[in-house]
Amino acid sequence: MIYAIGDLHLSLSVDKPMDVFGDNWTGYMNRIKEAWCETVTDEDTVLIPGDVCWAISLNEAKIDLAWIDDLPGRKIITRGNHDYWWETLKKMNPLFDSISFIHNSYEAVGDIAICGSRGWISPNDTAFTEQDEKIYNRECHRLKLSLDKAKADGFDKILVMLHYPPTNDKKELSPIQEILEDYGVSHVVYGHLHTKYCWHLSLKGLVNNVDYHFVSSDYLNFVPKHIDI
């Protein structure tokens, strides 16, 4: 089975408590581990769409990634906006047996292709600069690279991992959503948003034949969500 949980914000190498986002983050690492071990088996795959940990270098991140590696199942990770430790696939993929990373690439889980990119702030009327547009377009390109590779290898069933939400707070159709629909993506998992106010803005459920899953860890009460695909 496939599960998803984002925004783990592990802090084994950096002292950065998450309780600034609310009391529900108290003891979150123990809660993640306990729920994960109760839910996931070694035959399952867990998707982690970014904001893995607070480390600022790959060397710092290794202790957090090792913590993930020790948990049951295969793990597939895409980058979040706080993953400053992110390096090339050549440097990251050999580190841990149970962890794979997606960057302009995809991973296969049976007959399903797991594609993705970080994404970025969606175009909107209040806070979208020229620099935002440049980054957003680059992320669209990276998403297409991932999808093109999966399609070229014959995959029809595709799940996409994003870190940022696929649309803006008004839930207007975005260029990223158009890409998802054009490529026939069936499921999308994403995170990034915290606090109940932001959760209210998240896109969830079936929209234009794409099933959206909001999987920030605090929203899920730190329990990996089963993705039925």
Strands 205-207 and 112-116: unpaired
d(CA 56, CA 125): 32
Domain edges within the chain: 2-227
d(CA 61, CA 11): 9
Query: What are the structure tokens assigned to 180, written together?
Result: 């998802």
- pLDDT given at position 105: 97
Query: What are the structure tokens assigned to 21, written together?
Result: 């986002």
Average pLDDT over residues 51-60: 96
Q: Give residue 192's pLDDT band: very low, low, confident or very high (50, 70, 90).
A: very high
- pLDDT given at position 111: 97
- pLDDT given at position 215: 97
Percent of the chain with pLDDT over 70: 100
- pLDDT given at position 13: 85
Q: For 12-26, how does the pLDDT look when each residue is reduced to its tens digit (9 = 90+)?
A: 988 887 877 777 888
Query: Is residue 203's pLDDT more than 80?
Result: yes
Half-sphere exposure (CA, 13 Å, Cβ side) for 134? 3
Domain 2-227 has CATH 3.40.50.11750: no
- pLDDT given at position 129: 93
- pLDDT given at position 22: 76
Average pLDDT over residues 199-214: 92
- pLDDT given at position 14: 84
Helix (H, G, I), strand (E, B) or coil at 5: coil
The DSSP symbol for 72 reads: S
Strand segments (E) across the chain: 2-4, 45-49, 74-78, 99-101, 107-109, 112-116, 157-161, 187-190, 205-207, 210-214, 225-227
Q: Give residue 80's pLDDT band: very low, low, confident or very high (50, 70, 90).
A: very high
d(CA 116, CA 179): 11
Helix (H, G, I), strand (E, B) or coil at 48: strand
pTM for the full predicted model: 0.96
Average pLDDT over residues 177-193: 97
Residue count (the chain): 229
Query: Is residue 197's pLDDT more than 90?
Result: no
Q: Give residue 198's pLDDT band: very low, low, confident or very high (50, 70, 90).
A: confident
Strands 99-101 and 74-78: parallel
* CB-based contact 161:189 (threshold 8 Å): yes
Angle at 21 between CA 131 and CA 70, to 5 degrees: 90
